[in-house]
């Protein structure tokens, strides 16, 4: 996964990438609603970006496909999520 992260220009572990065999990854991407297509010339799979903000209870609090407008939303979502109280045990 580290090689894939480096190839995409992201620094793991700050990003988690879904990698693996197509029969495992494709159903996951389908459930997450991530559209994708394979470039016939290069074989590279292009897909939409998806950022998930997970709350302190491990639930998806926010879901973004990031562009310039959504960058501000992501920052606000992170502030809100980080300000949540710790879950009670």
Summarised one tens digit per residue, pLDDT across range 49-79 is 777 888 888 888 888 877 777 778 888 888 8
Q: Express each pLDDT in 22-42 by its tens digit.
A: 899 889 888 877 888 889 999
Q: Please, which pLDDT band fits residue 19 given cuts at 50, 70 and 90? A: confident
- Give every CB contact of residue 17 below 8 A, 6+ residues apart in sequence: 1, 4, 5, 8, 10
Q: Which tokens is 50 given?
A: 């998806």
Confidence of residue 1 (pLDDT cuts 50, 70, 90): very low
What is the model's pLDDT at position 8? 62
Stated pTM of the model? 0.51
**CA distance linking residue 80 with residue 89, whole number of Å:** 21
Burial of 20 (0-12, 13-18, 19+ CB in 10 A): exposed
Residue 15's pLDDT band, with cuts at 50, 70 and 90, is low
State the Cα–Cα distance between residues 54 and 48, nearest whole angstrom: 19
Instruction: Output the pLDDT for position 27.
Output: 93
């Amino acid at each position: 996964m580290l090689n894939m992260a480096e190839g995409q220009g992201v620094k793991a572990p700050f990003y988690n990438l879904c990698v693996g065999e197509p029969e495992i990854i494709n159903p996951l991407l389908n459930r997450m609603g991530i559209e994708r297509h394979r470039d016939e010339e290069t074989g590279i799979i292009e897909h939409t970006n998806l950022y998930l903000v997970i709350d302190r209870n491990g639930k998806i609090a926010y879901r973004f496909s990031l562009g310039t407008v959504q960058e501000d939303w992501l920052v606000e979502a992170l502030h809100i999520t980080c300000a949540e109280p710790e879950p009670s045990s």
